[in-house]
Chains A and B, each alone.
Chain A
Amino acid sequence: EAQVTQNPRYLITVTGKKLTVTCSQNMNHEYMSWYRQDPGLGLRQIYYSMNVEVTDKGDVPEGYKVSRKEKRNFPLILESPSPNQTSLYFCASSYGQGREQFFGPGTRLTVL
């Protein structure tokens, strides 16, 4: 089954404790992206990757890091999480940046 998977689905952590949210897709998509969703603000792009070893900042990259060492994986790293990063996070992938994006199920992160 073609899908985008994210782990964990739910995470409660404390300020400053490094964490990684994994994202994997099995559709051989070149393009991958991370979004955060906050009430009233819709989906805001954090980082995106056009291909392996190619990443770029989206609209709200501060406090986040990503890497794209393999085509299928695109982890999101929070080196020192803060409460304002409490949000719902989505990973997405597609054949290109203007093409249909397939979304993962989301990761709900709470930073205390």
Chain B
Amino acid sequence: GQQLNQSPQSMFIQEGEDVSMNCTSSSIFNTWLWYKQDPGEGPVLLIALYKAGELTSNGRLTAQFGTTRKDSFLNISASIPSDVGIYFCAGQVDSNYQLIWGAGTKLIIKP
């Protein structure tokens, strides 16, 4: 099945650094969702985007729905140890279609 291209695959960062990751698709999407999976748990929704150009924040997290509607970005400012985990993007063409998932970005904070 179709997958989103999510990058980077993994990131090693220092505590306090800012983080950026993105997802791109060959299809135009009407919905972008960003999830985080903590070790040993199921994914949890962080931010939902429903409009091209939309910029939404959730604490230190900011996500944007790309203006081309084929990409989305997630930024984390001033990373802290509890930010470690896997971040997934998911997109949907329209309500008649299933969500399509990215392969995930694994965030690791260097001690």
Interface residues of A (CB under 8 A from B): 4, 40-45, 48, 58-59, 90, 92, 96-98, 100-101, 103-106
Contact = CB atoms under 8 A, between A and B. Distances in A.
B48 to A, nearest CB: 6
A interface: dominant SS: loop
Interface string B36-73: 00001111110010000000000000000000000000
A58 B1 CA distance: 9
Contacts, number: 57
Nearest to A92: B42
A42 B3 contact: yes
Nearest to A96: B95
Interface residues of B, number: 25
Interface of B: 1, 3, 6, 9, 30-31, 33, 40-45, 48, 88, 92, 94-95, 97-99, 101-104
B104 A100 contact: no
B1 A105 contact: no
A96 B48 CA distance: 14
A3 to B, nearest CB: 10
Contacts of A43: 43, 88, 101, 104
A98 B101 CA distance: 12
A44 B100 CA distance: 9
Contacts of A101: 43, 45, 99
Contacts of B45: 100-101
B31 A41 contact: no
17 contacts: A4-B42, A40-B9, A42-B6, A42-B103, A42-B104, A43-B43, A43-B101, A43-B104, A45-B101, A97-B98, A97-B99, A98-B92, A98-B94, A100-B33, A100-B45, A103-B43, A103-B44
Given A97-B95, A97-B97, A98-B95, A41 B42 contact: no
